[in-house]
Each structure stands twice: as C-alpha cells, then as structure tokens.
Amino acid sequence: MSLDATPTPGSVRVGVAVPAAGTGRRMGGVRKPFLDLAGEPVLAHALRGLLADPRVTEVVVALGPDEAADPPAWLARLDARVRVLEGGATRAESVRRAISGLGSVDLIVVHDAARPFVPREVLSRCIEVAASGEGAVAGTLAVDTMKTVGSGGLVRSTPDRGSLWHAQTPQAFPADVLRRAYEGDLSEATDDASLVERLGIPVRMVEGDAWSLKVTRPIDLLIAEALLRAARRELP
C-alpha cells in the first residue's frame, strides 16, 4: 500500500460497504465482481480506487456464499482494511449486512463491486458532502430524451431531462443516518440514497463521469477494457 493511504490522525473515519453478492443475471449469470478486466478481477479494480482515499479506514465486502466461505487469496491479502462477509438475496440486504459489519466510523460510503472505476475526485466530493451532514450520490445528467412508458409500450410523457440524472455509486452518508435508513423497509430500495431521502434528509447529487460505469451487460466489460487501454496509452 502506498504511503499516501495512511490515515491522517484526527481525520474523518470512512467505512465502505461494497455489495458484491449479485448473480449477474443480465451478464448471463456470472459473479461480475470476479470477472477478469484487463488482467484483474472487476472487484480488485474497485477496491483499489476506494482504498486510495486515506480517509477510508475499513472496507466490508458482501460476497456470495461460496466466495464468502472461501475468499480468493488475492482478496484475503489485498489490504488490512478489507474484510468480507456473506451478502443477502437482494442488493439492499447485502448492503445492510456490510453496514452492520463496519465498526466505528463517522461516514459510510456504499460502492457497487460491479463498478470497477472509482474516480478519485468523485469519491472525495461524496465524502466531503457527507461530512457536511447531507447524503451524496454520484450521478450523471441524462443525455438522451427520456420517456415514461405505460403498459403495452405506449408513451405517456416526455419529462424534462434537464432535471433527470442517472444515480450511480459511490454514495456517501453520515454513518448514523445510513444505519437508521437501513432499519426501515428495504423492499422498494434500488439504491441507498432513496432510503435516506425517505427519512427527509437532504441528498445532494455529485457529478460523476463516464468512468463511473457499471458492468451490467457483456458490452460494458468491453467498454471498461477500452477505457483502461486508452488511459494506459496516455501514461508516460
């Protein structure tokens, strides 16, 4: 681990919950966090980005039952701040378990294992917003015209895309707020911020970028590889 990842005394303690227990249905039924991306598992890329922030003191990864029972060697020796536990049947349940596995932290960041890249500035800004007492969600403004569509495929309306954003991760919150949010009903939750919004606590959008993509379908892995190749070409 590089020296700049040593926590500064007195600085905010950030715990990270990483849901990695999905079954990757849209990818053809694979554990996406363990897919190879340019020579390393998708999850390894994500963890490297998260661990690069020196304020991160703990990371808990929620894994599928097989991986949790016998974590791969690379994960076990990656960094002393990383622990694993078994996730649940839904993303929300996996996040809930990961949060309960975190110790004493001031802020909690949630980041999908299926998002291999964690832009440093985006993570940093999310942490800063959470440190101010609000929730933070990384996202990008919709670029296509958006439609609401009813049953049978009939278009209902064309909402103003100027206020529509794609919500991504990282998302960051004061730890007590997120823990309270996860005590409620999780059945409707597709992200963490929505549970915090439900408590009436302000959540701020933090502008992400094209690097914040989620590996969802096979084409996403190709895009991620192309991004990495391009970035490596630009290195001196």
Q: Answer with the entry of ligand CTP, Mg ion, none that 60 interacts with (C-beta below 5 to 8 A by kind).
A: none
User: Closest residue to ligand CTP, Cβ-based?
Assistant: 22
The entry of Mg ion, ligand CTP, none near residue 53 (CB within 5 to 8 angstroms by kind) is: none
Kindly tell me which residue out of 89, 143, 155, 230 binds ligand CTP, with binding defined by CB under 6 A.
89
Q: Within 10-69, which residues bind Mg ion (CB under 5 A)?
A: 22
Q: Which class for 200: exposed (0-12), middle (13-18), buried (19 or more C-beta within 10 A)?
A: exposed
* DSSP one-letter string for 132-173: TTSEEEEEEE--SPP-EE-GGG-EEE---GGG-EEEEEEEEE
190 binds ligand CTP (CB under 6 A): no
72 binds, among ligand CTP, Mg ion, none (CB under 5 to 8 A by kind): none
55 near ligand CTP, judged by CB under 6 A = no
87 binds ligand CTP (CB under 6 A): yes
What's the rounded Cα separation, in Å, for the pair 53 and 51? 5
Check if the beta carbon of residue 18 is closer than 8 Å to that of residue 64.
Answer: no
Shortest gap between Cβ of 60 and ligand CTP (angstroms)? 11
Residue for token pair 């897919």: 35
| DSSP one-letter code for 26 | G
Residue with the two structure tokens 């409620």 = 184
* 26 makes contact with ligand CTP (CB under 6 A): yes
Q: Assess 94 for contact with ligand CTP (CB under 6 A).
A: yes
Binding segment for ligand CTP among 47-55, 110-118, 127-135, 142-150 (CB under 6 A)? 110-118
Position 100 contacts ligand CTP (CB under 6 A): no
Q: Among residues 47, 113, 137, 196, which is the contact residue for ligand CTP, using CB under 6 A? A: 113
- At position 213, the amino acid (one-letter code) is L
Q: Number of helices (H) and strands (E), helices first, in the chain?
A: 8, 11
Verify binding: residue 25, ligand CTP, rule CB under 6 A: yes
Give me the residue label for tokens 């996040």: 95
Among 52, 211, 214, 227, binds ligand CTP (CB under 6 A): 214
User: How far is residue 153 CA from its own chain's centroid?
Assistant: 32
Helix, strand, coil shares, percent, the chain, to 5: 40, 25, 40
Site of interaction with ligand CTP (CB under 6 A):
19-27, 32-33, 62, 87-91, 94, 112-114, 214, 216
